[in-house]
Amino acid sequence: MSAFESQYGESAPVRVIAPGRINLIGEHIDYLGGKVMPIAINRHLTVEAAPSNSGVVEIMPEGMDFTAPALIDLKSLERRTKPSESWMNYVIGVLSVYRDAGIQIPAFKATISSDLPTGAGLSSSAALETAIALVVEALSGVEQDVVDRALLCQRAEHEFAGVPCGIMDQLAVGAGKKGHALLLNCADLSTRQIPLPPELAIVTTDTRVKHALGDGEYKRRREDCDEILRRLDLNSFDELRKAGLETRIGELDEKLSRRARHAVSEFERVDQFAGALQSSDREALARLMRASHDSLRLDYEVSCPELDYLVASAYDLPEEFGVVGSRMTGGGFGGSTVTFVARDSAGAFCERQKKSFEEKFGRSPDSFITSAVDGAGVHAL
Ligand code: GLA
């Protein structure tokens, strides 16, 4: 029985399935107009919904010990400030930006169920935003194009969750394609689907160290990058890249020069990685993922000991585990790593990562073989 059926005793006319995402490379440069390469993954959030005439949006999240659904009054779409209600801001935010875009928001009742962990760097927030957006579109009959929908969801996250995120997560959740990585140019939002090599598997390992990007460090990184452009009197990191970082780095203090070095070097790595993926060049994939992780750890300072341990121990494994390359994925400060391994050894690699993490930290991570799936969609009954 679905979550909606057990809550409301009837089946839902609208079911939206929205995947999470991992990012293969291009970290912390979406908001700088760089290229990124996420995939939509086989962990999902499902929202089932039915129109109602109650004048409110009534929404029941499964697995949160709620005894009654949360209620959102469509006449006052205000941001919630209580920590226990902070998840509702993703819903309220989307309803509010859609209303501002001139779409009449219908009253509905809904359930949320999910096997996508929150705070794991796997974009559960973008999945929830996108799912709510698709519910609103299905019930109002006004369909947005995938890029416009992602932009509306990003705005909801900025204004209601207080995270000044880039566009990667919302577009990955919306535009992912089975078996492919999405090469997304954040400067013009153009996309290209890159087939993943079938002989390699991707493993995601969630440290279960909860990250909270709203807590300020993410925003501080963005401010550092704004400051770099201000000091160098440039309009974009692409200009800095073209000018050559070494010609200008002397004008920055130590911290800002490290931030700039991460950004410019990560810009370069993405195109190289796309080429390496297409030719299955394992040596290049390994080198680029290692360099990306080190740059995030040392220059951008968004990693943490648990992520560093997982990455370092993956590279140290004997050949039989088939490790190609490993790095942290997503915003960092906790969350998950992504590792390319030979497909035949993926199961053994997952088990090995769990065991060695447990020995080191005394608690269990989650490690799973990750496939690239299609982006979010409506499955009407
Ligand atoms: C978070 C943000 C994204 C992106 C990543 C880092 O996931 O939501 O926009 O900046 O961090 O690459």
Please say if 65 is a catalytic residue. Answer: no
Active-site residue, selected from the candidate residues 169, 206, 224, 299? 169
Mean pLDDT value across residues 307-319: 97
Question: In the chain, where do the E strands start and end?
Answer: 14-23, 35-36, 38-51, 56-61, 70-73, 108-114, 180-185, 190-195, 200-206, 323-329, 336-342, 366-370, 377-380
CB 74 within 8 A of CB 54: no
Q: Is 349 exposed, middle or buried (0-12, 13-18, 19+ CB in 10 A)?
A: buried
Residues of the chain above pLDDT 70, percent: 98
Q: How far is it between the farthest Cα atoms of the chain?
A: 67
Q: Classify residue 372 by its DSSP letter.
A: B
- Structure pTM? 0.96
Across 84-103, average pLDDT: 96
211 touches 329 (CB < 8 A): no
Residue 215 pLDDT > 70 = no
Q: What's the token pair of residue 250?
A: 């002397």
Predicted pLDDT at 65? 79
Query: Candidates 169, 184, 267, 327: which one to mutate for ligand 1, based on the most atoms within 8 Å of Cβ?
Result: 169
Looking at ligand 1, which atom is closest to the CA of residue 218? 11
For residue 283, how far is its CA from the centre of ligand 1 (angstroms)?
A: 27
Domain boundaries, the chain: 3-193, 196-370
Q: Which residues pair with 110 in a beta bridge?
A: 49, 59
CATH no. for 196-370: 3.30.70.890
Ligand 1 near 168 CB (within 6 A): yes
> What letter does residue 362 receive in the DSSP assignment?
S
**Count of Cβ atoms closer than 10 Å to residue 130 Cβ:** 32
**Residues 177-192 pLDDT 10s:** 999 999 999 999 999 9
Task: Please say whether the beta carbons of 266 and 288 come within 8 A.
Answer: no
Which atom, in ligand 1's list, is nearest to the CA of 126?
A: 8
Joined tokens for residue 150: 């992602």
Q: How many CB atoms lie within 10 A of CB 245?
A: 18
The mean pLDDT of the chain is 96
**pLDDT greater than 80 at residue 212:** no
Tell me the CA–centroid distance for residue 53 and ligand 1, in Å: 37
Looking from the CA of residue 29, the nearest atom of ligand 1 is: 12
Q: Which fold has domain 3-193?
A: Ribosomal Protein S5; domain 2 (3.30.230)
Task: Please state, in angstroms and rounded to a whole number, the distance separating the CA atoms of residues 14 and 72.
Answer: 19
Q: Do domains 3-193 and 196-370 have the same CATH topology?
A: no
